[in-house]
Structure 1
Amino acid sequence: MAASDIVMHRDPGCGCCEQWAAQVRSAFGRKVSIVDDANRAALDARLGLPASLSGCHTAIIDGMAFEGHVPIADMRRALAAKPRGVRGLAVAGMPLGSPGMEVPGRPADHYNVVAFGPGGTYVYARH
């Protein structure tokens, strides 16, 4: 069975989202459809994403939500494990050095990847 396309809702016109999507497309070997969504807050609310974890885009991959600049390795691990009570992973804001936010010659920020869902929130990974 073929894997489904990835749909990414982004703040309209956000350029860093395209860089993240390109990395996801390459890593997963799937089409990434980009939807300019001026009302992403409503989508995030439907997904149960706490407002404090909001980023500039939300991708849906195999039924899981990935908010913001989540690293590929963390996405793969969550998709393989499907942790109980977890609806998705989020990286709040736009940390420098996260996927799609790389700047040559600038050190990466430290940031957390947070799991969210009916089971609450917890730090899934630290970078």
Structure 2
Amino acid sequence: MKLTRRLAILLMLGVPSLAMAASDIVVHRDPGCGCCEQWAAQVHRQFGRRVTMIDDQRRAAFQRAQGVPTRLASCHTAIVDGMVFEGHVPIADMKRVLAQRPRGVKGLAVAGMPIGSPGMEVPGQRAQAFNVIAFGSGGETIFARHNS
């Protein structure tokens, strides 16, 4: 049996989920934002996947199109396996929501740029308390609390 035929059979038998798990992570950021690069490097290390950064002059429109509530805005918006992650969301929270896929949750957000959140570590600065907010058709709820 030819290799291409074998691959086609494997894809029909359910390997697409493996292909999806290995897809790139796309991050739309405010052009030139350095903390976004630091967050993306942590995501790359912990997910083991390529992270593609897009300097997006029209990111506010992208956020709206993805359903990110305006009050939860930050400096970057990432799409991972069909879910939306706004701002400096801790990777453990990302992995947990991706595994659970709660009904009515489109994504997670950390509003602003709190010191001590992933990518916003500042030596000598005390970490700020922040919440990770789940958002989507089910409304907004606190998904996790950090540094409280």
Global fold match (TM > 0.5)? yes
Which whole-Å CA distance do the structure 1 matches of 2:63 and 2:136 have between them? 11
Give, as a single letter, the amino acid of the residue that structure 2 aligns with 1:12: P
Q: As a proportion of its length, which structure holds more helix? A: 2
Cα RMSD of the aligned pairs, angstroms, is 0.6
Q: After superposition, what is the alpha-carbon deviation per residue over 1:87-119, rounded to whole angstroms, capped at 9, x for unaligned?
A: 000000000000000011211000000000111
Instruction: Tell me if 1:103 matches 2:122.
Output: yes
Which whole-Å CA distance do the structure 2 matches of 1:58 and 1:49 have between them? 9
Identity %: 69
CA-CA distance at 1:126 after TM superposition = 0.4
Give, as a single letter, the amino acid of the residue that structure 2 aligns with 1:98: S
Structure 1 stretches lacking a partner, 5+ long? none
Which whole-Å CA distance do the structure 1 matches of 2:86 and 2:68 have between them? 8
Structure 2 stretches lacking a partner, 5+ long? 1-17
- TM-score, normalising length: structure 2: 0.84
Instruction: Tell me if 1:49 matches 2:68.
Output: yes
Q: After superposition, what is the alpha-carbon deviation per residue over 1:58-100, rounded to whole angstroms, capped at 9, x for unaligned?
A: 0000000000000011000000000100000000000000000
Structure exhibiting the larger radius of gyration computed from Cα positions: 2
Higher relative contact order (CA 8 A, sep 6+): 1
- TM-score, normalising length: structure 1: 0.98
Q: After superposition, what is the alpha-carbon deviation per residue over 1:34-77, rounded to whole angstroms, capped at 9, x for unaligned?
A: 00001111111111111000000000000000000000110000
Instruction: Tell me if 1:14 matches 2:33.
Output: yes
Q: 4+ residue stretches of structure 1 with deviation over 4 A?
A: none
